[in-house]
Structure 1
Amino acid sequence: MKEESFVVSDEVVRFLLDTGSDITFIVDPESGCIVKASRAACDFLGFRHEHIVGHPLTLLHPVEEHDACRDWFTACVTAAETGTPGHTPPLTMLRRDGVCASCRMAVAVLGWGERRLACCVYSSPALRGLVGSGLQDSEAYFAQALPHIDDGAWSWNPLTGELYLSRQWLRLLGYGPDDAPPTREESHDLLHPDDRERVLAVLDACIRGERSSFSLEYRLLAKDGSYRWLHGRGAPVRDGAGRLMLLTGATTDITRRKETELALGQARDAAMAASRAKSAFLASMSHEIRTPMNVILGMAELLAETSISSSQQRYLEAIAGSGRMLSQLLSDILDFSQIEADRVALFPEAFDPAALAREVCGLAGETAAGKGLDLQVDTDPALPGRLVADPLRVRQVLLNLVWNAVKYTQTGRIAVSAAPSPGPAGQGFVVFSVRDSGPGIAPEAMARIFDPFSQADAAAHRCQGGAGLGLSISRALARLMGGDVVAESAPGAGSCFSFTLPALRADRQ
């Protein structure tokens, strides 16, 4: 026999929903949509009341339980109308933050004015624990902690469309407590035009399940019209069935860091521009600087051929020796400046690599013999007779390596060799090697010997002089020609410098 529904007033319903601790919903039994929700229900779920009302009761449950929930709700309403208590089997309730709780639903039918409505009450020990003091303590904790955290927090609920922005998030953009917070659509418009597409693409990927988290730097328009640099990171929150429940994140203001980075970048660019201007100036002045020095050396040589006294001869030799040293320093500095300014031009032509190696040893032979050094040259018979490269630059690199060996070797032997060597992908190379019996180089010095203005031994630098540019220039020129300069050395075991050059044969050009 069908019984009459309980008839209650608006005041009673409002009192029960506002003051009760139960998770209670007033539901239209025909549509299954929520008409009212208790304050405890809103607190537990994390939704505002207006975001719950009008949605079906199945919103509170995972997708896989929607059909069962709908069937049990209908059955409970029918049972309640006949006076039989209506209870569901265990169901899963979902909070906004993705937390799941097992519960049962009890249903009673109410007469509310001229309407017939269902009163649904959810209960379980888990729900009581979450709705009770534990939840209140948690809320109190976060209410006290969040104002002292610099990061802003936000979350977006795809089921209701609600966007939550913490007070600190709003403060980051200059919004006060009386300002209306931006909506989700308005927050998209706040993104800098250069960042909008990139940021929204990442967030969409999180929503679609293609990303499990995100970390981005972007700009947002503040209330005062300026853009603030922010670092945002967060992740989607999904239920057990993989359904998106929330997209949450935290935001840090990094504007000051970005401004510092920009200032440093501008200072670096200005310094590099000044360095390039200096190098370009020195490179363009190369001829003007070298010419007077060459005139001085030339005049000294001519004067040496005239009738002068022995003391004048000594003075002239000192002038010529110092002039040659100064000329070499100027040449190294000017060559280095041209390399820095990217003004080195190569003029490839055919040359004989074996003859070039012998010529270089001949130029250094007299100095080596004067120190009692045995300077030998060995060329492999398999060496190509004619190669194509810039012979002046090849001679410059090889001569610098030989001069270094003569300079730093006090006794013993210097061996110069030239031989073919296979390379990757069938490409051949010619390797010029200069091996000496000098003091060798310590491992810590090996790491910097090719750095500009660097020498392996400060004591040797005081004795031998030089700008410390020779090896840096040699490696740079070798690499411009498609090769390289490498070194092997150990203290007390001498050194070996190898200059590799692509074996472009003249008969194949």
Structure 2
Amino acid sequence: MDHSGRSPMSLFMLPDDPSLLSYGIYDPKLVLLSLLVAIFSSWMGLQIAGQARQRNSQRPIFLLTGSLALGAGVWAMHFVGMLAFNLCTRVGYDPMITVGSSLPSIAASFVALNLIARERLGRTGLLAGGVLVGAGIGAMHYAGMAGMRMSLDLRYDPATFALSIVVAVVLATLALWVRFGLNRLRSMSESRRLLLAAVVMGCAIAGMHYTGMAAARFVGTIDPNAPASSDTTTLALGISLITVLFTVVVLAANGLLRYRRLYADLSRSEAWMRALLTTTVDGVITVDRDGTILEFNASAEKIFGWRRAEIVGGNVRLLMPEEERNKKVGLLGYLRDSGAHAAPNNAEVDALRRDGSRVPIRFAVGHAVLGKQELFVCFVTDITERREMVQALRASEQQFRSLIGTIPGISYRSRIEGEHPMVFISEAVERVAGYPARDFTGVPPGSPPRRCFGALIHAADRVRVSEAIEAALREDRPWLVEYRLLHADGSTRWLWENGTGVRDDHGKLVWLDGVILDISERRKMEEALRNAKEHAEQAAAARATFVANMSHEIRTPMNSILGFTDVLLDGELAPDQRRHLDTVRNAGRSLLRLLNEILDTAKLEKGAVELEINDFNLLSLIDELSSTLAANARAKGLQVDIHYDPALPTNLRGDELRIRQVLTNLLDNAIKFTASGSVTLRAEPRGDQLHFSVQDTGIGIAPERLNAIFDPFTQADASMTRRFGGTGLGTTISKQLVELMGG
């Protein structure tokens, strides 16, 4: 019956008389066939969705072909399911409507596969997908049933119809959820998860169909004489076969696309691999289990000196020294055992060149099985330069360690944080602190040190040292600091440290480098010198005090002796008496002069002499000296010459008395030690100073004795004391007075 002109609402109008309803029965074989078609189509669709997930560039093609295959399968399941329902009357199908009913199925399949091809699906996406897929399959089902042509009138039970739509959405959502939910079952293989998902999806599709069929109501009376439907089983099998063939064709087309893609990837990978093997600096050698060389790249030619055409087909033993060929381990042992033990990766051995020379190499071996053939890929690196570099570094390190060991002190490098933990410290620290170097750096490297060098600094010096280092780092300058260190044996050592901060290219402080010297002996010597100096100063002070007291005590009676001697000489005396008294007077005067000189020396050493600065006439001073000393000179037949520079000012300011004393000592000595000739005094300006010089033609002084004449009680020659007399204090006093006046 044609229902094209009927209103949509009339489809849900059921007769009041139940006897007007006709009922059909299902063919179990065709029902099972429809279920198998749904499961098969679902399995194919899921396969294609998996390919679409892996191939982003060909994703639209895979989704389109997959939706065609799955949509056709769902439609075929629906059509076979309708053929399985026998109404005992002839049933036909409108070609346009029946074929057109596949479009919603294809659209629903496209939505389903597009969702399944994603890596993950959220709850909102899952519900939206379930609604779209369920609605699409429901539309396909009811559109297909609308194409039925028969003597009965097709109606739908409203409640069951609504239930079928809900069931379609729920089952579609379940089918989508199962596909993603099964991914959590890591213990199940991918193929089993795929098959289980296909079974669930196929059952869901079949469940949608048969729930929709349950909503159908057929109104009318079946004519017993009406011809029955043709062989539906054959038609169902034909449609199923066509659907399977179509699905297989789609799968084959996708497989062909995938094969082309894989072939292109393989060709690209092979080209990339060949380029890699050609340009890599490492030698790559491929051998089989027997050690036969199958591949030999250009870098291997450079390392071993063999041409590829010469070595391919030969045995890998050609590249090994004799001792390497007989080892149970190594490359040959690995080949003999077919990889039974660990591959010799990153092993360093000596290999053999074509000319018989040896080359140090590092090699690693990879194992691959291609069919029944075992292949071993050896990656070889020439480490000649690296080994030479290592040897040079070791020699440099040994030289550095030797240099550090000969430095008379501790060399160190420390970090800047915290208490400046040591990165390196020389072994000399054990002599200074009593602890080995490893206690301060940590062994093995990276482990925390057992001791901190800063903790050994004396508590009284610790803050001062820290402040000195911090100030030097702030001002970007080296630091010099002395402090005490507590030795392991409980003693205290004095140390001298010179350090500096090391900065990187950006000016950031990264290290502290320095040298530490043990100055304990120097400190002891300085302490001894200070004590000796104090003792000497005390002794000198005591001597000066003693000399001053003795000079004072002796001069008083000596002046009395000289005074009474002069009184006696003024009276009437016999010649012998006068001669004896002259001797006493001369001896007394000599002794008094000695006492005066000793007293002056004591005062000068004690710093008790103060200059009396006054204005004086230099020319008058020199004239008086010349007149006073000329008598002694004339008595010895000497000439006294005075050279006074006219450029000198007449009036000067200074201590006239001390200048007179110095010049008197010098001129008196010159006259005393000169037997004949002359004595010359020169006065001239030199810059802002007055310069005097006394020159004579006397006995002279040996060059090596020039410095000694200014020492107390010392003369140029010991015989002079006997010949000329004197104490040797005159020049000493003169030198001290000149230095006191700034000369």
Which category describes the TM-score, using the shorter chain as reference length? 0.5 to 0.7
Aligned to 1:106: none
Number of matched residues? 362
Choose from 446, 449, 452 the match for 1:183.
452
Choose from 601, 605, 618 the match for 1:353.
618
Aligned to 2:719: 459
Alpha carbons 1:195, 1:219 under 8 Å: kept? no
Q: 1:351 to 1:149 in 2, by over 3 A?
A: closer
Counterpart Cα distance in 1 of 2:537 and 2:384:
65
Letter of the 2:532 counterpart: A
Counterpart Cα distance in 2 of 1:413 and 1:335:
30
In the alignment, structure 1 residue 474 sits paired with structure 2 residue 734 = yes
Counterpart Cα distance in 1 of 2:525 and 2:565:
57
Counterpart Cα distance in 1 of 2:675 and 2:541:
39
- The correspondence of residues 112-127 of structure 1 with structure 2, limited to 5 A, is 125=383
**Cα deviation code 1:143-202 (max 9, x no counterpart):** 999999985453214599642456652563344888974437646786555544335545
Greater RCO, CA 8 A, separation 6+: 1
Counterpart Cα distance in 2 of 1:409 and 1:125:
91
**Cα deviation code 1:451-481 (max 9, x no counterpart):** 3333233333331122222122113223333
Counterpart Cα distance in 2 of 1:441 and 1:186:
63
**How far did 1:274 drift?**
1.6
- Structure with the higher fraction of residues in helix conformation: 2
Q: 1:130 to 1:259 in 2, by over 3 A?
A: farther
Partner secondary structure for residue 709 of structure 2: coil
Aligned to 1:38: none
Normalised to the residue count of structure 2, the TM-score between the two structures is 0.41
- Structure with the higher fraction of residues in strand conformation: 1
In the alignment, structure 1 residue 198 sits paired with structure 2 residue 439 = no
Alpha carbons 2:482, 2:496 under 8 Å: kept? yes
Aligned to 2:701: 441
**How far did 1:435 drift?**
3.2
In structure 1, runs of 5+ residues without a counterpart are 3-82, 90-122, 485-509
Partner secondary structure for residue 495 of structure 2: strand
Letter of the 2:413 counterpart: S
Aligned to 2:665: 400
Counterpart Cα distance in 1 of 2:534 and 2:697:
45
**How far did 1:255 drift?**
1.7
Counterpart Cα distance in 1 of 2:673 and 2:405:
69
**Cα deviation code 1:78-133 (max 9, x no counterpart):** xxxxx999xx99xxxxxxxxxxxxxxxxxxxxxxxxxxxxxxxxx99599649978
Alpha carbons 2:551, 2:598 under 8 Å: kept? no
Deviates more, 1:445-454 or 1:472-481: 445-454
Choose from 311, 324, 329 the match for 2:589.
324
Counterpart Cα distance in 2 of 1:480 and 1:147:
52
Q: 1:228 to 1:124 in 2, by over 3 A?
A: farther
Aligned to 1:219: 484
Alpha carbons 2:468, 2:481 under 8 Å: kept? no
Letter of the 1:462 counterpart: R
Alpha carbons 2:480, 2:499 under 8 Å: kept? yes
**How far did 1:406 drift?**
0.9
Partner secondary structure for residue 355 of structure 1: helix
Q: 1:404 to 1:126 in 2, by over 3 A?
A: farther
Aligned to 1:254: 519
In structure 2, runs of 5+ residues without a counterpart are 1-52, 55-272, 282-380, 441-448
- The correspondence of residues 52-451 of structure 1 with structure 2, limited to 5 A, is 125=383, 129=387, 151-158=409-416, 162-164=421-423, 165=425, 169=429, 172-175=432-435, 181-183=450-452, 186=455, 191-202=461-472, 208=476, 210=477, 217-222=482-487, 227-232=492-497, 246-283=511-548, 286-377=551-642, 384-416=649-681, 419=683, 421-424=684-687, 427=688, 429=690, 431-451=691-711
**How far did 1:407 drift?**
0.3
Counterpart Cα distance in 2 of 1:274 and 1:195:
38
Q: 1:320 to 1:334 in 2, by over 3 A?
A: same
**How far did 1:296 drift?**
2.0
**How far did 1:324 drift?**
2.0
How much is the aligned-residue C-alpha RMSD, in angstroms? 4.8
Alpha carbons 2:439, 2:450 under 8 Å: kept? no
**How far did 1:336 drift?**
0.9
Alpha carbons 1:280, 1:338 under 8 Å: kept? no
Instruction: Point out the structure with max Rg over C-alpha.
Output: 2
Alpha carbons 2:648, 2:685 under 8 Å: kept? no
**Cα deviation code 1:33-85 (max 9, x no counterpart):** xxxxxxxxxxxxxxxxxxxxxxxxxxxxxxxxxxxxxxxxxxxxxxxxxx999
Q: 1:406 to 1:196 in 2, by over 3 A?
A: farther
Deviates more, 1:294-303 or 1:381-390: 381-390
Counterpart Cα distance in 1 of 2:658 and 2:563:
24
Q: 1:244 to 1:469 in 2, by over 3 A?
A: same
**How far did 1:278 drift?**
1.8
Q: 1:457 to 1:400 in 2, by over 3 A?
A: same
Counterpart Cα distance in 1 of 2:644 and 2:428:
77
Normalised to the residue count of structure 1, the TM-score between the two structures is 0.57
Alpha carbons 2:473, 2:501 under 8 Å: kept? no
Alpha carbons 1:192, 1:221 under 8 Å: kept? no
**Cα deviation code 1:344-402 (max 9, x no counterpart):** 12333444333332322333233222212223556566665544433332221121111
Partner secondary structure for residue 710 of structure 2: coil
Partner secondary structure for residue 414 of structure 1: strand
Counterpart Cα distance in 1 of 2:503 and 2:724:
73
Partner secondary structure for residue 413 of structure 2: strand
Q: 1:148 to 1:286 in 2, by over 3 A?
A: closer
Counterpart Cα distance in 1 of 2:385 and 2:470:
36
Alpha carbons 1:282, 1:334 under 8 Å: kept? yes
Counterpart Cα distance in 1 of 2:598 and 2:453:
61
**Cα deviation code 1:316-342 (max 9, x no counterpart):** 121122222222222222111110000
Counterpart Cα distance in 2 of 1:142 and 1:387:
68
Partner secondary structure for residue 219 of structure 1: strand
Alpha carbons 1:154, 1:169 under 8 Å: kept? no
Partner secondary structure for residue 228 of structure 1: strand
Deviates more, 1:344-353 or 1:180-189: 180-189
Q: 1:326 to 1:133 in 2, by over 3 A?
A: same
Letter of the 1:299 counterpart: F
Alpha carbons 2:636, 2:676 under 8 Å: kept? yes
